[in-house]
Amino acid sequence: MEDGLRRYFQDELQRIEVAIGTLAQAAIQVADSPPANPIKGMVRYAVSPWSPTGSTTGVTVNHAVTVAVSGGINVYFVDGVANPILTFVRGNTYVFDVSNSSNTGHPFRFKDGYGTSFTTGVTPSGTEGQANATVTIVVGNSTPSAIRYYCTVHGNGMGNNIDVNNPNTGDGMVVYNGTAWVAV
């Protein structure tokens, strides 16, 4: 019995030492610059002077939108990623290029949390699937903290949620979304 307890506590001590070593490595990463080759989903603490893309106001962020089959249904691909969750920052402008021919018959729009069409600050230009067609949204103080993008013909399944954040100074938790660091 005594040997069993001793082994148990030795194992627990080893787990604690490994955890402390991992925390020590993470603490070193807090003050450094962003890694050269981040992995999608990597979470870090952003320390000035580097900050997540779009964390300041007055920025225009461009996205390319296409439609393709994923999981047996048509979905929007935003910058090559199947219906990703997006993050907006108040004070920024987001331009969605919907001119790719795959967007024909798939009007790209926004809804609020109640499922009501959200049009404040939204400007569609042209027709989806035709040259120079865009949907622009200026995210302001009246934009709800949670909206979604969707197809007005085929519904919510083609799109996903959008988190709307207040601007920050660049210090805080960030996640790499595959193309940029964004505040969480």
For 21-78, the pLDDT digits (tens) are 555 444 434 434 566 666 666 666 554 434 444 456 677 889 999 999 888 899 999 9
Query: Would you state the pLDDT for residue 32?
Result: 46
Output the six-digit token pair for 38.
Answer: 């981040």
Q: What mean pLDDT do residues 4-32 have?
A: 60
Query: Would you state the pLDDT for residue 31?
Result: 37
Question: Which are the contacts of 12, defined by CB distance < 8 A and separation ≥ 6?
Answer: none
Q: List % helix, strand, coil for the chain (3-state, nearest 5).
A: 15, 40, 45
Ranked by mean pLDDT, which of 27-36, 84-93, 109-118 comes out on top?
A: 109-118
Query: Would you state the pLDDT for residue 36?
Result: 65
Residue 109 above 90 pLDDT? yes
pLDDT per position as a tens digit, 142-166: 899 889 999 999 989 999 999 887 7
CA–CA gap between residue 132 and residue 116 (Å, rounded): 27
Alpha helix stretches (DSSP H) within the chain: 2-30
For residue 31, count CB atoms less than 10 angstroms from its CB and return exposed for 0-12, middle for 13-18, buried for 19 or more.
exposed
First-to-last alpha carbon distance for the chain, in angstroms, is: 48
Instruction: Give the DSSP per-residue string, 94-113.
Output: EEEE--SGGGTT--EEEE-T
